[in-house]
Amino acid sequence: MRRTAAAGLVIVNGQVFTADRSHPRAEAVAMRGAKIAAVGSNDEARKAAPDATVIDAAGRTVLPGLVDAHNHFLATGESLGMADVRYPKVASIAGLVEALAAAAAQSGFRSGDFLRAYGFDHAKYERAPTRWDLDRAAPGSPVLVGHISGHYVLANSLAMERAGVTENTPDPPGGRIDRDERGLPTGLFRDAAMVLVQPAAVDVGHHGPNFHVAADPADLTAAVERAGTAYLAAGLTTVCDAQVTSRELTAYRQARAQGRLLVRTVCMPLSHQLGSYQATGLAGPFGNEWLSLGPMKFYCDGSLIGGTAAFSAQAADSRDPGHLAGSQAGTGAGTGAGTAAGAGAGLLFWDPAEFAEAIEQAHLAGWQVGVHAQGDAAIGLALDAFTRAQHARPSADPRFRIEHCGYPTDAQLARMRDLGVIAVCQPSYLHDSGDDFLDAMPGIAHRLQPLRAELDLGIRVVLSSDSDVASYRPLDTIAAAVRRQTRNGRAIGPDQALTVAEAVLAHTIDAALAIGAEHRLGSLEPGKLADLVILGGRLLECPAEEISSLGVDITVIAGRVAHQAG
């Protein structure tokens, strides 16, 4: 349902957590048009919008609309339309085959069509699945199954045949084709090798994993709308797509033109487009409050969940890389830069010198820069590049971001503080894959995503989902940061947990800061955009284990009720 915004909307009797550090709590919020008119007592709010529709929050928590600073919005919409093979729904190879066979048997699926699924997590299986396993699921159809990390794809034999991949196909730079003892491709394509079987709409070269799969434009706008509806129901009003190519930007523009872009969307163009943007003189921030360009995204290393994050030799010593991603993880299939990161280094997308040069170019062009860096070796390269960029042209507020920031050392945290680097973290990994981390890297698992240490040092911490790698629901993310508990109930770095209030700030105003939008959204303050949520209960007193199930009763965006539960 949508109410008219003209006369305004007033929320009274709320446990209002404003995320405005100078006025953290209130009772009521008044909105006129698309903006907030007042935040304060019930009387003050009613006076500010006398003709408004009044909603009684009845003591429930009211928060600013949640901001997801690292989210694969379009990819999530696409996944919501695919077969879901995530753990724990699928926990074995037999389960995977069964789920795919069931998807192929559904009405509407025609044999011979591409069968797509997402979310397999073979760290949870008895062994890595192969194309021969998939061949049993849907004979006659090419099958592609995306890994939960977004960094691998598993193909069946027909999909490989259609793509012309044989045992003679070499590993591309930045990627790897897994092979068995006979040298035959097993069907698992890692990082830059994914494009060999998954026809891509865009060539991103060595700049990142390519999930920019060729698709019908109408399907993509439908996916944007599908995800937007789900996000509003989860309390998200602003998302930042952390990997945007011409494919995503076109889909968002199209959706916006058709009135189907339901949440505010900030785009992080992937670094392969740096030259094109330089040629036009365009750099973020650019756009409007609904659709804009934000920071530029660079990849440094691979995936923590997938076992291709780049660790120093010292950190790598304390892990068992074989455990996470099958027998070949951690052997280094990078671009020849592996020596810089030491033994067992994982995967680097760049030669470090070229990486630093590209980041300097982006910084000089005016871009805010976000770097995907999980392992300490990758984080070190990112910090070196930021230092060099600041040396080339000092900026008082560069807002460098490290995406994920899995394992920063103490010395790196001090450098992050000094450079003003924002840590854009995804604590849901600790829940979803924490058991694997504890088993595979017992020496460092508790120190992954050291949120408490970062806050104590004065580093800006941002919580995000990385959906569709993890749940897009902010209440799941907040719960994961507060609980630091694995799926099987084991503690993972409990001394690094956040309080609920800290977690909300990290998912609202500080997330807005990470996308350069803190002046217009992220907190409930007069003059800001009228985006807020009413939760299904009182978050601030909620037992940690019940946060995830609290639910979102009402989501307001631009002064209109855009989601109402039940």
Please identify, using beta-carbon distances, which residue of 436 and 466 lies nearer to Zn ion: 466
Helix (H) or strand (E) holding 354: helix 352-365
Contact 11, 29 (CB under 8 A): yes
Please identify, using beta-carbon distances, which residue of 424 and 441 lies nearer to Zn ion: 424
| Residue 147: CB minimum distance to Zn ion, A | 13
CA gap 211, 202 in Å, rounded: 9
Please identify, using beta-carbon distances, which residue of 241 and 531 lies nearer to Zn ion: 241
Please identify, using beta-carbon distances, which residue of 73 and 125 lies nearer to Zn ion: 73
Please identify, using beta-carbon distances, which residue of 158 and 470 lies nearer to Zn ion: 470
Candidates 283-291, 320-328, 433-441, 462-470: pick the segment binding Zn ion (CB under 5 A): 462-470
Which residues lie across from 144 on neighbouring strands? 116, 155
| Residue 467: CB minimum distance to Zn ion, A | 9
- Given phi > 0 = left and psi -120 to 50 = alpha, else beta, which region is 363? alpha
DSSP codes of every residue in 458-482: T--EEE---TTSS---HHHHHHHHH
242 binds Zn ion (CB under 5 A): yes
| Residue 464: CB minimum distance to Zn ion, A | 9
| Residue 307: CB minimum distance to Zn ion, A | 16
Contact 28, 10 (CB under 8 A): yes
Candidates 59-67, 100-108, 237-245, 360-368: pick the segment binding Zn ion (CB under 5 A): 237-245
Buried/exposed 492-520: b ≥16 CB within 10 Å, e otherwise? bbeebbbebebbbbbbbbbbbbbbbbbee
Please identify, using beta-carbon distances, which residue of 435 and 466 lies nearer to Zn ion: 466
> Could you give the maximum distance between any two Cα atoms of the chain, in Å?
77
Three-state SS for 1-64 is: CCCCCCCCEEEECCEEECCCCCCCEECEEEEECCEEEEEECHHHHHHHCCCCEEEECCCCEEEE
Within 13 A of 351's CA, how many CA atoms are on the CB side? 5
Candidates 8-16, 164-172, 239-247, 550-558: pick the segment binding Zn ion (CB under 5 A): 239-247
Candidates 76-84, 99-107, 241-249, 531-539: pick the segment binding Zn ion (CB under 5 A): 241-249
Q: How many residues does the chain have?
A: 566
466 binds Zn ion (CB under 5 A): yes
Please identify, using beta-carbon distances, which residue of 17 and 252 lies nearer to Zn ion: 252
Please identify, using beta-carbon distances, which residue of 241 and 436 lies nearer to Zn ion: 241
Candidates 37-45, 236-244, 296-304, 352-360: pick the segment binding Zn ion (CB under 5 A): 236-244
| Residue 554: CB minimum distance to Zn ion, A | 29
Please identify, using beta-carbon distances, which residue of 103 and 470 lies nearer to Zn ion: 470
| Residue 127: CB minimum distance to Zn ion, A | 27
Site for Zn ion in 278-337 (CB under 5 A): none
227 binds Zn ion (CB under 5 A): no
Other C-beta atoms lying within 10 Å of the C-beta of residue 35: 16
| Residue 233: CB minimum distance to Zn ion, A | 22
- Cα 426 vs. chain centroid, distance in angstroms? 7
One-letter amino acid of 323: H
| Residue 70: CB minimum distance to Zn ion, A | 6
Candidates 28-36, 103-111, 131-139, 234-242: pick the segment binding Zn ion (CB under 5 A): 234-242
* Closest by CA position to 146, among listed 469, 471, 473: 469
| Residue 165: CB minimum distance to Zn ion, A | 26
DSSP codes of every residue in 355-406: HHHHHHHHHHHT--EEEEE-SHHHHHHHHHHHHHHHHHS--S----EEEE--
Distances (CA, A) of 426 to 146, 476, 481, 552: 20, 10, 8, 20
Number of chain positions touching Zn ion (CB under 5 A): 2
Please identify, using beta-carbon distances, which residue of 294 and 559 lies nearer to Zn ion: 294
236 binds Zn ion (CB under 5 A): no
Contact 379, 310 (CB under 8 A): no
Please identify, using beta-carbon distances, which residue of 466 and 531 lies nearer to Zn ion: 466
Candidates 189-197, 255-263, 394-402, 464-472: pick the segment binding Zn ion (CB under 5 A): 464-472
| Residue 243: CB minimum distance to Zn ion, A | 6
Binding residues (CB under 5 A) for Zn ion: these are 242, 466
